[in-house]
Structure 1
Amino acid sequence: MENNINKDPQSMSFLDHLEELRWHLIRATIAVLVTAIAAFVAKEFIFDVLIFGPKKPNFPTYKALCNLSKLFGLDESLCFKELPFSVQSRKVAGQFSVHIWTSITAGFIVAFPYVLYEFWKFIAPAMYDNEKKYSKGFIIICSFLFFLGVLFGYYVITPLSINFLGGYQVSPEVLNEFDIDNYIALVRTSVIACGLIFELPVIMFFLTKVGLVTPQFLKKYRKFALVIVLILSAVITPPDIVSQVIVAIPILILYEVSIFISKIVIRKQRKQNKNLIQQS
């Protein structure tokens, strides 16, 4: 590992690059495992407060909806006193398995900035000096967008999904008794999916840098993007219009932000090309 660090990236062989990638992956994995161990120890907080928080009527989202309901004169139509379902484990090692995988998920979320840092360190040698100086900004912005998406998924998507699906019944004869694996899978999918979706502006930034998309392209296919966003919203939310609209709005805002970022990238590239022409 030490020899590869001092090597010129241009002179490194394919196997050297693989070795370098392996060590970046190892360090990122160690970071995830360390935070996962901390999450494993903090079992009461992870499960009683975070995981099962959206199941409780006093969850902040439900309180906010209740206050809005009263504010607009809807009485208590959006106030939830009790969610009519229970969570159970039907496997011998079910709870222990859920404890481990939930801890790993929490470890990945918490260690995301460091994982991103290791990824940046691997691709940085292939970049120009003027691009490397933006590394801190890249990590901060990506981490901010990811955590913003995680919070959106946790405080908006998760409670809406749990409230809708937890209270839905085809008949009073059928009781909602969800397996703990399914319940946590819903929370995990909502949180991580939103965290990754919120990285859209960063993805568009790099796609514009390499010339795969342009502002004109993004504007031209805005209508198709709207359809894709609505389909994506339908996949990660319960099948009701309100939830889909709530999810679609921030994604559409991110899409418009991506167009703005793409314009900035194209403008800078044209300026750099103009300067190079003048210098030559």
Structure 2
Amino acid sequence: MSDTRSSHSPEPDPQDDQQETFISHLIELRERLVKAVAGVLIIFLGLVYWAPEIFNLFARPLMVSLPKGGRMIVTDVTGSFFVPMKVTLLVAFLIALPWVLYQIWKFVAPGLYQHEKRLILPLVSSSYVLFLCGVTFAYFLVFPTVFHFMAHYNAPLGADMSTDIDKYLSFAMTMFLAFGITFEVPVVVIVLVRFGVVELDKLKQVRPYVIVGAFIIAAVVTPPDVLSQLLLAVPLIALYELGLLMARFFLKPEESPEAVGGTTAD
């Protein structure tokens, strides 16, 4: 009797294919992370020689606001070395951020539709520019204003204003992050409206809550003086309004106010 067993090879297991796909994604993610970190390190190594000068530029808003005889101090044995290195690394990261975002883009782009690719690229680019605008706003306007106010506030108390460089780094990074994120508000509003997460009319209705929330956030993040809180809250509100204005141009045709409210003649 002939062998009636099938000679066909076993069908591939879908779970095996999913596992191979998952592993391949992990390998690609690792490669993208390595390239992103390498880009930051290359720029950092190119800047490390000028680390003291970079820190002096970083600390300039405070130094020019200090009263006569005021200076920065070091309370940690290794602070004078590591703090300038940290500042230089952060500068390197900001410079290399387009390269880092490009690596992220190359990883997620294959899973996006064509219309999503056309939308995300300008959004990411504008996010980077707006974040730099927020950092620049904090450095050139907020820092001099706050430090000048605090220096004059300390004068009647007879207290010497001498700040530890590590404490200044923590304060400055908190402010940079707060204002950088604040300047991302228009992008956040556009994304919420464009992808249908929240309707534009709803965002307009919650405007009073946004105004109150802006002052609450400013009170938590900034130093406890009215001036610095206003310097964060007012731009946050203005940028929210800008986001509402620009979001109209990113509505889908069927969601635009003209399409929704328009009527056709009989």
Please state which band the TM-score falls in when normalised by the shorter chain: 0.7 to 0.9
For structure 2, the 5+ residue unaligned runs are 1-17, 260-266
SS of 1:42's partner is helix
**1:117 pairs with 93, 96, 102, which one?**
102
CA contact (8 A) 1:201 1:257 kept: yes
Q: Cα distance 1:94–1:249, how it changes in 2: closer, same or farther (>3 A)?
A: same
Q: Which runs of 5+ in 1 are unaligned?
A: 1-9, 58-79, 275-280
The alpha carbon displacement at 1:35 in A equals 2.1
CA distance in structure 2 between the aligned counterparts of 1:169 and 1:252, rounded to whole angstroms: 31
Secondary structure, aligned partner of 1:32? helix
Q: Distance in 1 between matches of 2:26 and 2:194?
A: 25
Matches of 1:210 and 1:11 in 2, distance apart? 31
2:186 is the alignment partner of 1:178: no
Correspondence 1:51-130 to 2 at 5 A: 51-57=58-64, 82=67, 85-130=70-115
2:44 to 24, 36, 41: 36
CA shift for structure 1 position 136? 4.6
- Distance change in 2, residues 1:206/1:82 (3 Å): same
Greater mean alpha carbon deviation, residues 187-196 or residues 99-108: 187-196
Letter in 2 for 1:230: F
TM-score, scaled to structure 2: 0.78
Q: Which of these two proteins has the greater Rg computed from alpha carbons? A: 2
Correspondence list, 1:116-195, <5 A: 116-134=101-119, 136-169=121-154, 172=157, 174-195=159-180
Q: Distance in 2 between matches of 1:253 and 1:171?
A: 35
Using a 3 Å threshold, how does the CA distance of structure 1 residues 117 and 205 change in structure 2: closer, same or farther? farther
Deviations 1:127-164 (A, max 9, x none): 21133234553343222111111101111222223233
**Partner SS state of residue 61, structure 2:** helix
Instruction: Tell me, in whole angstroms, the C-alpha distance in 1 between the residues paired with 2:216 and 2:189.
Output: 20
**Number of residue-to-residue matches in the alignment:** 240
| TM-score, length of structure 1 as denominator length | 0.74
Q: Deviations over 1:234-262 (max 9, x none)?
A: 23333222322222222112101222233
Q: Which of the numbers 15, 24, 31 marks the counterpart of 2:23?
A: 15
**CA RMSD, Structure 1 to Structure 2 (Å):** 2.8
- Specify the SS of the correspondent of 1:82: coil
- Aligned-partner SS, 1:175: coil
* Residue 267 of structure 1, aligned match among 249, 252, 255: 252
SS at match of 2:154: coil
Q: Equivalent residue of 1:91, what SS?
A: coil
Identity %: 31
Q: Which one of 185, 193, 217 corresponds to residue 232 of structure 1?
A: 217
The alpha-carbon deviation at position 171 of structure 1 amounts to 7.4
1:246 aligns with 231
Give the deviation of 1:22 after TM superposition: 2.2
Deviation at 1:174, TM superposition (A): 4.0
Rounded Cα–Cα distance in structure 2 between residues aligned with 1:201 and 1:36? 31
